[in-house]
A and B are shown apart, each in its own frame.
Chain A
Amino acid sequence: MRASFLMSGVATGLRRNVSMTVALVLSTAISLAFLGGAFLIGKEINKFKTLYEDKINVSIFLCSNISVGQPGSPCKAKVTQAQTDAIGAQLANDPLVKSYSYISEAQAQSRGKQLLGDKLVNEAGAGVFPASYTVKLKDLKKGYAPLAVEYAKAAGVDGVQNQDDSLKTMLNLFDSAKWGARVVALIVGICAIIQMANTIQVAAAQRRNETGIMRLVGASRLMTQLPFIIEAMIAALAGGLIALLFDWAGKRFILDGVFGEQVSRGVLPPLDGNDIIVAGGVGMIAGIVLAALTAWGTLRLAVRL
Protein backbone atom coordinates (compact mmCIF):
# COMPACT_ATOMS: atom_id res chain seq x y z
CA MET A 1 0.00 0.00 0.00
CA ARG A 2 1.45 3.33 -1.05
CA ALA A 3 2.24 5.88 1.67
CA SER A 4 0.10 8.61 0.09
CA PHE A 5 -2.93 6.30 -0.07
CA LEU A 6 -2.33 5.20 3.51
CA MET A 7 -1.90 8.74 4.81
CA SER A 8 -4.99 10.01 2.98
CA GLY A 9 -6.95 7.29 4.80
CA VAL A 10 -5.36 8.34 8.09
CA ALA A 11 -6.20 12.01 7.50
CA THR A 12 -9.81 11.13 6.66
CA GLY A 13 -10.02 9.03 9.82
CA LEU A 14 -8.68 11.80 12.03
CA ARG A 15 -11.00 14.39 10.45
CA ARG A 16 -14.06 12.17 10.75
CA ASN A 17 -13.69 11.97 14.54
CA VAL A 18 -12.36 15.41 15.37
CA SER A 19 -13.89 15.72 18.85
CA MET A 20 -12.73 12.24 19.88
CA THR A 21 -9.30 12.86 18.41
CA VAL A 22 -8.99 16.12 20.39
CA ALA A 23 -10.07 14.35 23.60
CA LEU A 24 -7.58 11.59 22.91
CA VAL A 25 -4.75 14.03 22.24
CA LEU A 26 -5.47 15.99 25.43
CA SER A 27 -5.76 12.97 27.73
CA THR A 28 -2.55 11.57 26.23
CA ALA A 29 -0.91 14.97 26.73
CA ILE A 30 -1.92 15.14 30.40
CA SER A 31 -0.78 11.59 31.04
CA LEU A 32 2.57 12.16 29.32
CA ALA A 33 3.01 15.52 31.08
CA PHE A 34 2.69 13.80 34.45
CA LEU A 35 5.06 11.08 33.29
CA GLY A 36 7.53 13.77 32.22
CA GLY A 37 6.92 15.57 35.54
CA ALA A 38 7.77 12.40 37.47
CA PHE A 39 10.92 12.02 35.37
CA LEU A 40 11.92 15.65 36.00
CA ILE A 41 11.32 15.40 39.75
CA GLY A 42 13.47 12.26 39.76
CA LYS A 43 16.14 14.18 37.89
CA GLU A 44 15.90 17.04 40.40
CA ILE A 45 16.26 14.58 43.29
CA ASN A 46 19.37 13.07 41.73
CA LYS A 47 20.89 16.49 41.12
CA PHE A 48 19.96 17.55 44.64
CA LYS A 49 21.58 14.46 46.13
CA THR A 50 24.72 14.93 44.05
CA LEU A 51 24.87 18.58 45.05
CA TYR A 52 24.57 17.86 48.75
CA GLU A 53 26.37 14.56 48.95
CA ASP A 54 29.46 16.45 47.92
CA LYS A 55 29.01 18.76 50.89
CA ILE A 56 27.98 16.16 53.46
CA ASN A 57 30.54 15.05 56.01
CA VAL A 58 30.58 12.32 58.61
CA SER A 59 31.65 13.34 62.12
CA ILE A 60 33.47 10.95 64.45
CA PHE A 61 33.07 12.46 67.91
CA LEU A 62 35.75 11.53 70.40
CA CYS A 63 35.20 10.98 74.12
CA SER A 64 35.24 14.14 76.24
CA ASN A 65 35.00 14.62 80.00
CA ILE A 66 31.26 15.16 79.71
CA SER A 67 30.53 12.09 77.60
CA VAL A 68 32.09 9.71 80.15
CA GLY A 69 29.30 7.95 82.01
CA GLN A 70 26.52 9.45 79.89
CA PRO A 71 23.72 6.96 79.17
CA GLY A 72 24.29 5.36 75.79
CA SER A 73 27.88 6.55 75.56
CA PRO A 74 30.62 3.91 75.30
CA CYS A 75 33.20 6.35 76.79
CA LYS A 76 35.00 5.19 79.91
CA ALA A 77 37.56 7.99 79.91
CA LYS A 78 38.47 11.05 77.91
CA VAL A 79 40.17 10.15 74.66
CA THR A 80 43.96 9.99 74.88
CA GLN A 81 46.39 11.43 72.36
CA ALA A 82 47.45 7.89 71.43
CA GLN A 83 43.83 6.90 70.72
CA THR A 84 43.33 10.10 68.68
CA ASP A 85 46.45 9.36 66.65
CA ALA A 86 45.39 5.72 66.15
CA ILE A 87 41.99 6.80 64.77
CA GLY A 88 43.76 9.33 62.53
CA ALA A 89 46.08 6.62 61.24
CA GLN A 90 43.13 4.26 60.63
CA LEU A 91 41.33 7.00 58.64
CA ALA A 92 44.44 7.71 56.62
CA ASN A 93 44.55 4.09 55.45
CA ASP A 94 40.78 3.57 55.11
CA PRO A 95 39.75 2.93 51.45
CA LEU A 96 36.26 4.35 52.13
CA VAL A 97 37.65 7.74 53.12
CA LYS A 98 38.28 10.49 50.59
CA SER A 99 39.67 13.04 53.08
CA TYR A 100 39.50 13.87 56.76
CA SER A 101 40.43 16.61 59.18
CA TYR A 102 40.87 16.76 62.91
CA ILE A 103 39.05 19.32 65.07
CA SER A 104 40.49 19.56 68.56
CA GLU A 105 38.34 20.26 71.62
CA ALA A 106 39.71 23.81 71.71
CA GLN A 107 38.87 24.41 68.05
CA ALA A 108 35.37 22.98 68.57
CA GLN A 109 34.93 25.18 71.62
CA SER A 110 35.92 28.25 69.67
CA ARG A 111 33.51 27.34 66.83
CA GLY A 112 30.79 26.84 69.41
CA LYS A 113 31.50 30.27 70.82
CA GLN A 114 31.18 31.75 67.36
CA LEU A 115 27.81 30.09 66.93
CA LEU A 116 26.31 30.34 70.42
CA GLY A 117 28.24 33.10 72.15
CA ASP A 118 30.96 33.06 74.84
CA LYS A 119 28.66 33.14 77.85
CA LEU A 120 26.64 30.06 77.03
CA VAL A 121 29.68 28.01 76.11
CA ASN A 122 31.64 29.08 79.20
CA GLU A 123 28.69 28.17 81.41
CA ALA A 124 28.35 24.77 79.78
CA GLY A 125 31.99 24.07 80.58
CA ALA A 126 34.77 22.25 78.79
CA GLY A 127 33.90 19.06 76.92
CA VAL A 128 30.46 20.12 75.61
CA PHE A 129 32.10 20.49 72.21
CA PRO A 130 34.21 17.37 71.94
CA ALA A 131 37.16 16.81 69.68
CA SER A 132 36.18 15.12 66.42
CA TYR A 133 37.30 13.93 63.04
CA THR A 134 35.36 15.33 60.07
CA VAL A 135 35.41 12.72 57.33
CA LYS A 136 34.45 13.05 53.65
CA LEU A 137 33.59 9.65 52.16
CA LYS A 138 34.23 8.53 48.61
CA ASP A 139 30.64 7.20 48.44
CA LEU A 140 28.41 8.48 51.21
CA LYS A 141 25.59 6.02 50.46
CA LYS A 142 27.75 2.90 50.47
CA GLY A 143 30.46 4.03 52.85
CA TYR A 144 28.53 5.46 55.77
CA ALA A 145 27.13 2.25 57.33
CA PRO A 146 30.42 0.25 57.43
CA LEU A 147 32.34 3.35 58.59
CA ALA A 148 29.85 4.02 61.40
CA VAL A 149 30.06 0.40 62.60
CA GLU A 150 33.86 0.25 62.35
CA TYR A 151 34.68 3.52 64.13
CA ALA A 152 31.94 3.29 66.78
CA LYS A 153 33.94 0.29 68.13
CA ALA A 154 37.26 2.16 68.19
CA ALA A 155 38.68 3.11 71.56
CA GLY A 156 38.10 6.78 72.41
CA VAL A 157 35.14 7.23 70.05
CA ASP A 158 31.88 8.54 71.50
CA GLY A 159 29.78 8.25 68.35
CA VAL A 160 29.59 8.59 64.58
CA GLN A 161 27.07 10.95 63.01
CA ASN A 162 25.97 11.56 59.44
CA GLN A 163 24.95 15.10 58.49
CA ASP A 164 22.78 13.57 55.75
CA ASP A 165 19.96 12.97 58.25
CA SER A 166 18.87 16.60 58.16
CA LEU A 167 18.39 16.46 54.38
CA LYS A 168 16.26 13.37 54.49
CA THR A 169 13.03 15.27 55.15
CA MET A 170 13.50 17.33 52.02
CA LEU A 171 14.42 14.32 49.92
CA ASN A 172 11.40 12.44 51.26
CA LEU A 173 9.23 15.37 50.20
CA PHE A 174 10.70 15.25 46.70
CA ASP A 175 10.29 11.48 46.63
CA SER A 176 6.61 11.77 47.56
CA ALA A 177 6.10 14.32 44.78
CA LYS A 178 7.82 11.98 42.33
CA TRP A 179 5.65 9.03 43.33
CA GLY A 180 2.55 11.23 43.32
CA ALA A 181 3.32 12.30 39.75
CA ARG A 182 3.95 8.66 38.77
CA VAL A 183 0.63 7.53 40.25
CA VAL A 184 -1.26 10.35 38.50
CA ALA A 185 0.59 9.53 35.26
CA LEU A 186 -0.40 5.88 35.63
CA ILE A 187 -4.08 6.64 36.33
CA VAL A 188 -4.38 9.21 33.55
CA GLY A 189 -2.37 6.86 31.32
CA ILE A 190 -4.85 4.03 31.93
CA CYS A 191 -7.71 6.45 31.16
CA ALA A 192 -5.92 7.49 27.95
CA ILE A 193 -5.44 3.85 26.92
CA ILE A 194 -9.11 3.03 27.57
CA GLN A 195 -10.17 6.14 25.66
CA MET A 196 -7.83 5.23 22.83
CA ALA A 197 -9.28 1.70 22.68
CA ASN A 198 -12.83 3.12 22.63
CA THR A 199 -11.98 5.67 19.95
CA ILE A 200 -10.47 2.97 17.77
CA GLN A 201 -13.50 0.73 18.24
CA VAL A 202 -15.83 3.56 17.22
CA ALA A 203 -13.62 4.46 14.25
CA ALA A 204 -13.43 0.82 13.16
CA ALA A 205 -17.22 0.49 13.41
CA GLN A 206 -17.67 3.66 11.33
CA ARG A 207 -15.31 2.37 8.68
CA ARG A 208 -16.47 -1.25 8.69
CA ASN A 209 -17.73 -0.86 5.12
CA GLU A 210 -14.36 0.45 3.95
CA THR A 211 -12.30 -2.17 5.80
CA GLY A 212 -14.68 -4.88 4.62
CA ILE A 213 -14.09 -3.85 1.02
CA MET A 214 -10.35 -3.67 1.65
CA ARG A 215 -10.31 -7.26 2.90
CA LEU A 216 -12.52 -8.35 0.03
CA VAL A 217 -10.18 -7.00 -2.62
CA GLY A 218 -7.16 -8.62 -1.02
CA ALA A 219 -5.77 -6.22 1.56
CA SER A 220 -3.91 -7.99 4.34
CA ARG A 221 -4.97 -7.68 7.97
CA LEU A 222 -2.03 -5.36 8.62
CA MET A 223 -3.06 -3.11 5.70
CA THR A 224 -6.55 -2.68 7.15
CA GLN A 225 -5.19 -2.14 10.64
CA LEU A 226 -2.38 0.23 9.70
CA PRO A 227 -4.49 3.42 9.23
CA PHE A 228 -6.00 3.01 12.71
CA ILE A 229 -2.60 2.29 14.28
CA ILE A 230 -1.07 5.33 12.58
CA GLU A 231 -3.98 7.51 13.70
CA ALA A 232 -3.40 6.44 17.32
CA MET A 233 0.34 7.08 16.95
CA ILE A 234 -0.29 10.56 15.51
CA ALA A 235 -2.65 11.36 18.41
CA ALA A 236 0.07 10.19 20.83
CA LEU A 237 2.69 12.28 18.99
CA ALA A 238 0.47 15.38 19.22
CA GLY A 239 -0.20 14.58 22.89
CA GLY A 240 3.54 14.16 23.46
CA LEU A 241 4.29 17.57 21.92
CA ILE A 242 1.69 19.23 24.14
CA ALA A 243 3.11 17.33 27.14
CA LEU A 244 6.53 18.74 26.27
CA LEU A 245 5.02 22.24 26.52
CA PHE A 246 3.43 21.33 29.87
CA ASP A 247 6.80 20.07 31.17
CA TRP A 248 8.52 23.23 29.97
CA ALA A 249 5.80 25.35 31.63
CA GLY A 250 6.26 23.34 34.86
CA LYS A 251 9.98 24.13 34.88
CA ARG A 252 9.44 27.75 33.88
CA PHE A 253 6.64 28.60 36.30
CA ILE A 254 7.19 26.22 39.23
CA LEU A 255 10.92 25.52 39.51
CA ASP A 256 12.18 28.79 38.00
CA GLY A 257 9.15 30.80 39.19
CA VAL A 258 7.94 29.67 42.61
CA PHE A 259 11.33 28.27 43.67
CA GLY A 260 13.31 30.74 41.54
CA GLU A 261 15.11 32.32 44.50
CA GLN A 262 16.24 28.96 45.90
CA VAL A 263 17.48 27.96 42.45
CA SER A 264 19.40 31.20 41.96
CA ARG A 265 20.99 30.89 45.43
CA GLY A 266 22.07 27.36 44.61
CA VAL A 267 19.93 25.71 47.29
CA LEU A 268 17.98 23.85 44.62
CA PRO A 269 19.77 22.61 41.50
CA PRO A 270 18.41 24.01 38.22
CA LEU A 271 16.96 21.92 35.38
CA ASP A 272 18.07 22.77 31.86
CA GLY A 273 16.45 22.51 28.43
CA ASN A 274 18.04 19.11 27.82
CA ASP A 275 16.31 17.69 30.89
CA ILE A 276 12.95 18.86 29.52
CA ILE A 277 13.67 17.48 26.06
CA VAL A 278 14.78 14.12 27.48
CA ALA A 279 11.73 13.91 29.81
CA GLY A 280 9.32 14.95 27.04
CA GLY A 281 11.06 12.81 24.43
CA VAL A 282 11.06 9.67 26.56
CA GLY A 283 7.36 10.26 27.39
CA MET A 284 6.55 10.87 23.73
CA ILE A 285 8.27 7.69 22.56
CA ALA A 286 6.61 5.69 25.36
CA GLY A 287 3.25 7.24 24.40
CA ILE A 288 3.66 6.46 20.70
CA VAL A 289 4.71 2.85 21.35
CA LEU A 290 1.84 2.39 23.83
CA ALA A 291 -0.63 3.92 21.36
CA ALA A 292 0.50 1.55 18.60
CA LEU A 293 0.23 -1.46 20.91
CA THR A 294 -3.18 -0.35 22.21
CA ALA A 295 -4.49 0.16 18.68
CA TRP A 296 -3.10 -3.16 17.47
CA GLY A 297 -4.45 -5.03 20.51
CA THR A 298 -7.89 -3.40 20.23
CA LEU A 299 -8.17 -4.17 16.53
CA ARG A 300 -7.11 -7.77 17.06
CA LEU A 301 -9.03 -8.59 20.20
CA ALA A 302 -12.02 -6.26 20.42
CA VAL A 303 -12.78 -5.37 16.81
CA ARG A 304 -11.32 -8.49 15.14
CA LEU A 305 -10.39 -6.41 12.13
Chain B
Amino acid sequence: MIALQNVTKIYPASTRPALDGVSLDIEKGEFVFLIGASGSGKSSVLRLLLREDAPTKGSVIVNGKDIAKLPSRKVPELRRGIGCVFQDFRLLPKKTVFENVAFALEVINKSQRSIKRGVPEVLEMVGLDGKAHRYPNELSGGEQQRVAIARAFVNRPLVLLADEPTGNLDPDTSQGIMGLLERINRKGTTIVMATHDNNIVDAMRRRVIELDLGHVVRDQNRGVYGIGR
Protein backbone atom coordinates (compact mmCIF):
# COMPACT_ATOMS: atom_id res chain seq x y z
CA MET B 1 0.00 0.00 0.00
CA ILE B 2 2.76 2.40 1.02
CA ALA B 3 6.46 2.04 0.27
CA LEU B 4 9.38 4.38 0.77
CA GLN B 5 12.38 3.23 -1.27
CA ASN B 6 15.72 4.69 -0.26
CA VAL B 7 14.14 8.09 0.37
CA THR B 8 16.27 11.08 1.23
CA LYS B 9 14.79 14.48 1.98
CA ILE B 10 17.00 17.50 2.39
CA TYR B 11 15.40 20.86 3.21
CA PRO B 12 17.35 23.82 1.79
CA ALA B 13 17.84 25.55 5.14
CA SER B 14 18.81 22.40 7.04
CA THR B 15 22.35 21.26 7.82
CA ARG B 16 21.47 17.52 7.73
CA PRO B 17 18.94 15.46 5.81
CA ALA B 18 15.50 15.18 7.43
CA LEU B 19 15.36 11.66 6.01
CA ASP B 20 18.46 9.78 4.94
CA GLY B 21 17.99 6.70 2.76
CA VAL B 22 14.76 5.58 4.45
CA SER B 23 13.08 2.42 3.14
CA LEU B 24 9.90 0.90 4.53
CA ASP B 25 6.79 -0.99 3.42
CA ILE B 26 3.32 -0.69 4.89
CA GLU B 27 0.66 -3.21 3.88
CA LYS B 28 -2.97 -2.42 3.19
CA GLY B 29 -4.99 -2.32 6.40
CA GLU B 30 -1.98 -2.00 8.71
CA PHE B 31 -1.88 0.29 11.76
CA VAL B 32 1.59 1.75 12.10
CA PHE B 33 3.05 4.05 14.74
CA LEU B 34 5.89 6.35 13.68
CA ILE B 35 7.84 7.28 16.76
CA GLY B 36 11.02 9.19 17.48
CA ALA B 37 12.25 12.41 19.03
CA SER B 38 11.37 15.82 17.59
CA GLY B 39 13.31 16.29 14.34
CA SER B 40 13.70 12.55 13.81
CA GLY B 41 11.79 12.73 10.51
CA LYS B 42 8.24 11.55 11.44
CA SER B 43 6.47 14.59 10.05
CA SER B 44 8.70 14.54 6.96
CA VAL B 45 7.42 11.02 6.18
CA LEU B 46 3.81 12.19 6.52
CA ARG B 47 4.47 15.27 4.37
CA LEU B 48 5.99 13.06 1.66
CA LEU B 49 3.01 10.69 1.76
CA LEU B 50 0.67 13.65 1.34
CA ARG B 51 2.90 15.01 -1.41
CA GLU B 52 3.24 18.29 0.47
CA ASP B 53 6.94 17.79 -0.25
CA ALA B 54 8.78 15.77 -2.87
CA PRO B 55 11.76 13.62 -1.88
CA THR B 56 15.25 14.79 -2.80
CA LYS B 57 16.03 11.19 -3.76
CA GLY B 58 14.17 7.88 -3.86
CA SER B 59 10.59 6.78 -4.51
CA VAL B 60 7.42 7.18 -2.47
CA ILE B 61 4.84 4.63 -3.55
CA VAL B 62 1.21 5.02 -2.50
CA ASN B 63 -1.36 2.59 -3.83
CA GLY B 64 1.02 1.41 -6.56
CA LYS B 65 1.97 4.89 -7.83
CA ASP B 66 5.26 6.69 -7.35
CA ILE B 67 3.90 9.96 -6.04
CA ALA B 68 7.34 11.59 -6.13
CA LYS B 69 6.88 11.75 -9.89
CA LEU B 70 3.24 12.76 -9.73
CA PRO B 71 2.55 15.98 -11.66
CA SER B 72 1.10 18.81 -9.51
CA ARG B 73 -2.29 18.62 -11.24
CA LYS B 74 -2.70 15.00 -10.07
CA VAL B 75 -1.91 15.74 -6.41
CA PRO B 76 -5.53 16.65 -5.49
CA GLU B 77 -6.66 13.26 -6.76
CA LEU B 78 -4.04 11.55 -4.56
CA ARG B 79 -5.16 13.53 -1.50
CA ARG B 80 -8.79 12.52 -2.03
CA GLY B 81 -7.68 9.01 -1.16
CA ILE B 82 -5.79 10.05 1.98
CA GLY B 83 -7.36 11.37 5.19
CA CYS B 84 -5.41 13.58 7.57
CA VAL B 85 -5.70 14.33 11.25
CA PHE B 86 -3.52 16.82 13.12
CA GLN B 87 -2.69 17.69 16.70
CA ASP B 88 -4.31 21.14 16.31
CA PHE B 89 -7.54 19.73 14.74
CA ARG B 90 -7.54 22.35 11.94
CA LEU B 91 -11.28 22.94 11.99
CA LEU B 92 -12.97 25.96 10.44
CA PRO B 93 -14.21 27.99 13.43
CA LYS B 94 -17.07 29.69 11.59
CA LYS B 95 -18.54 26.45 10.30
CA THR B 96 -20.64 24.01 12.28
CA VAL B 97 -19.63 20.40 12.89
CA PHE B 98 -21.80 19.32 9.96
CA GLU B 99 -20.34 22.01 7.68
CA ASN B 100 -16.76 21.18 8.67
CA VAL B 101 -17.26 17.55 7.71
CA ALA B 102 -19.30 18.40 4.62
CA PHE B 103 -16.53 20.78 3.53
CA ALA B 104 -14.34 17.80 2.58
CA LEU B 105 -17.10 16.53 0.29
CA GLU B 106 -18.12 19.94 -1.08
CA VAL B 107 -14.65 20.70 -2.45
CA ILE B 108 -14.54 17.40 -4.32
CA ASN B 109 -17.91 18.09 -5.86
CA LYS B 110 -19.99 15.43 -4.11
CA SER B 111 -23.74 15.75 -4.58
CA GLN B 112 -25.95 17.27 -1.89
CA ARG B 113 -27.68 13.93 -1.55
CA SER B 114 -24.45 12.07 -0.72
CA ILE B 115 -23.43 14.88 1.67
CA LYS B 116 -26.76 14.72 3.49
CA ARG B 117 -26.46 10.97 3.75
CA GLY B 118 -22.72 10.63 4.40
CA VAL B 119 -22.10 13.34 6.99
CA PRO B 120 -24.65 12.21 9.64
CA GLU B 121 -23.45 8.64 9.11
CA VAL B 122 -19.83 9.49 9.86
CA LEU B 123 -20.82 11.80 12.73
CA GLU B 124 -22.69 8.90 14.30
CA MET B 125 -19.66 6.67 13.81
CA VAL B 126 -17.37 9.12 15.66
CA GLY B 127 -19.96 9.61 18.40
CA LEU B 128 -21.02 13.14 17.55
CA ASP B 129 -24.61 12.55 16.47
CA GLY B 130 -26.72 15.32 17.96
CA LYS B 131 -23.85 17.82 17.82
CA ALA B 132 -23.98 18.49 14.08
CA HIS B 133 -25.03 22.11 14.53
CA ARG B 134 -22.49 23.04 17.19
CA TYR B 135 -19.51 25.23 16.39
CA PRO B 136 -15.96 24.03 17.19
CA ASN B 137 -15.61 26.47 20.11
CA GLU B 138 -18.65 24.81 21.72
CA LEU B 139 -16.90 21.43 21.77
CA SER B 140 -14.23 19.85 23.97
CA GLY B 141 -10.77 19.06 22.56
CA GLY B 142 -11.66 15.38 22.20
CA GLU B 143 -14.89 16.25 20.38
CA GLN B 144 -13.03 18.61 18.07
CA GLN B 145 -10.57 15.84 17.22
CA ARG B 146 -13.53 13.55 16.51
CA VAL B 147 -14.84 16.14 14.06
CA ALA B 148 -11.41 16.23 12.41
CA ILE B 149 -11.39 12.43 12.18
CA ALA B 150 -14.92 12.46 10.75
CA ARG B 151 -13.78 14.96 8.12
CA ALA B 152 -10.74 12.81 7.30
CA PHE B 153 -12.83 9.64 7.05
CA VAL B 154 -16.03 10.89 5.42
CA ASN B 155 -14.58 10.26 1.97
CA ARG B 156 -13.64 6.68 3.02
CA PRO B 157 -9.91 7.09 2.28
CA LEU B 158 -7.57 4.14 1.74
CA VAL B 159 -5.00 5.71 4.04
CA LEU B 160 -5.39 7.87 7.14
CA LEU B 161 -2.38 9.86 8.29
CA ALA B 162 -2.44 11.14 11.85
CA ASP B 163 0.20 13.56 13.10
CA GLU B 164 0.15 13.53 16.92
CA PRO B 165 -3.65 13.32 17.06
CA THR B 166 -3.66 12.93 20.84
CA GLY B 167 -0.98 15.57 21.49
CA ASN B 168 -3.49 18.10 22.86
CA LEU B 169 -5.71 15.65 24.73
CA ASP B 170 -5.80 14.16 28.20
CA PRO B 171 -5.16 10.39 28.56
CA ASP B 172 -8.83 9.38 28.83
CA THR B 173 -9.84 11.40 25.81
CA SER B 174 -6.79 10.10 23.95
CA GLN B 175 -7.95 6.55 24.58
CA GLY B 176 -11.33 7.38 23.10
CA ILE B 177 -9.66 8.81 19.99
CA MET B 178 -7.45 5.72 19.66
CA GLY B 179 -10.52 3.52 19.95
CA LEU B 180 -12.06 5.46 17.11
CA LEU B 181 -8.92 5.14 14.94
CA GLU B 182 -8.87 1.41 15.67
CA ARG B 183 -12.47 1.10 14.47
CA ILE B 184 -11.57 2.95 11.29
CA ASN B 185 -8.59 0.65 10.81
CA ARG B 186 -10.86 -2.39 11.21
CA LYS B 187 -12.89 -1.10 8.27
CA GLY B 188 -9.78 -1.61 6.11
CA THR B 189 -8.20 1.84 6.17
CA THR B 190 -4.42 1.86 6.55
CA ILE B 191 -3.38 4.13 9.43
CA VAL B 192 0.01 5.77 9.86
CA MET B 193 0.23 7.71 13.10
CA ALA B 194 3.15 9.81 14.29
CA THR B 195 3.16 10.09 18.07
CA HIS B 196 5.13 10.76 21.24
CA ASP B 197 2.50 9.12 23.43
CA ASN B 198 4.17 6.06 24.93
CA ASN B 199 1.04 4.97 26.83
CA ILE B 200 -0.95 4.69 23.63
CA VAL B 201 1.79 2.88 21.72
CA ASP B 202 2.33 0.47 24.59
CA ALA B 203 -1.39 -0.16 25.02
CA MET B 204 -2.14 -0.71 21.34
CA ARG B 205 0.78 -3.11 20.59
CA ARG B 206 0.83 -2.39 16.86
CA ARG B 207 3.70 -2.11 14.41
CA VAL B 208 6.21 0.53 15.53
CA ILE B 209 8.69 2.24 13.20
CA GLU B 210 11.21 4.30 15.08
CA LEU B 211 13.13 7.09 13.39
CA ASP B 212 16.24 8.81 14.66
CA LEU B 213 17.96 11.68 12.84
CA GLY B 214 16.36 10.67 9.57
CA HIS B 215 17.14 6.93 9.79
CA VAL B 216 14.87 3.98 10.57
CA VAL B 217 16.39 2.51 13.72
CA ARG B 218 13.62 0.08 14.63
CA ASP B 219 10.75 -1.59 12.77
CA GLN B 220 8.88 -3.94 15.09
CA ASN B 221 5.53 -5.71 14.84
CA ARG B 222 3.42 -5.47 18.02
CA GLY B 223 6.05 -3.09 19.35
CA VAL B 224 6.17 -0.81 22.34
CA TYR B 225 7.39 2.74 22.70
CA GLY B 226 10.64 1.73 24.33
CA ILE B 227 12.29 2.01 27.68
CA GLY B 228 13.69 5.33 28.85
CA ARG B 229 12.07 7.49 26.20
From DSSP, what is the main secondary structure of chain A's interface residues?
Answer: helix
Choose among A212, A220, A221, A223 the residue that contacts B90 (Cβ–Cβ < 8 A).
A212
The chain A residue sitting closest to B79, CB to CB, is A218
Given contacts A217-B104, A221-B72, are A209 and B90 in contact (CB under 8 A)?
Answer: yes
Bound CA–CA A218/B74 (angstroms): 10
Interface residues on B, range: 20 to 34
Contact assessment for B72 and A215 in the assembled complex, using a CB-CB cutoff below 8 Å: no
Contact assessment for B73 and A218 in the assembled complex, using a CB-CB cutoff below 8 Å: no
Contact assessment for B106 and A220 in the assembled complex, using a CB-CB cutoff below 8 Å: no
The chain A residue sitting closest to B93, CB to CB, is A209
* Segment 68-83 of B: residues with Cβ below 8 Å from A: 72-73, 76-80
CB within 8 Å of A: which residues of B? Answer: 50, 72-73, 76-80, 84, 90, 92, 94, 103-104, 106-109, 112, 151, 155
| Chain A neighbourhood of B112, CB < 8 A | 2
Bound CA–CA A195/B73 (angstroms): 30
Choose among B72, B73, B94, B107 the residue that contacts A217 (Cβ–Cβ < 8 A).
B107
Q: How far is the CB of B88 from chain A (nearest CB, A)?
A: 10
| Chain A neighbourhood of B73, CB < 8 A | 220-221
| Chain A neighbourhood of B50, CB < 8 A | 216
CB within 8 Å of B: which residues of A? Answer: 1-2, 5, 12, 209-210, 212-221, 223
| Chain A neighbourhood of B151, CB < 8 A | 217
Bound CA–CA A210/B94 (angstroms): 10
Q: How far is the CB of B70 from chain A (nearest CB, A)?
A: 13
List 20 A-B pairs, Cβ < 8 Å.
Answer: A1-B106, A2-B109, A12-B94, A213-B90, A213-B103, A214-B103, A215-B76, A216-B50, A216-B79, A216-B84, A217-B151, A218-B76, A218-B79, A218-B108, A219-B107, A219-B108, A220-B73, A221-B72, A223-B76, A223-B107
Known A215-B76, A217-B155; further 15 A-B contacts with Cβ < 8 A: A1-B107, A2-B109, A5-B107, A209-B90, A212-B90, A213-B90, A214-B103, A216-B50, A216-B90, A217-B104, A217-B107, A218-B77, A218-B78, A218-B80, A220-B76
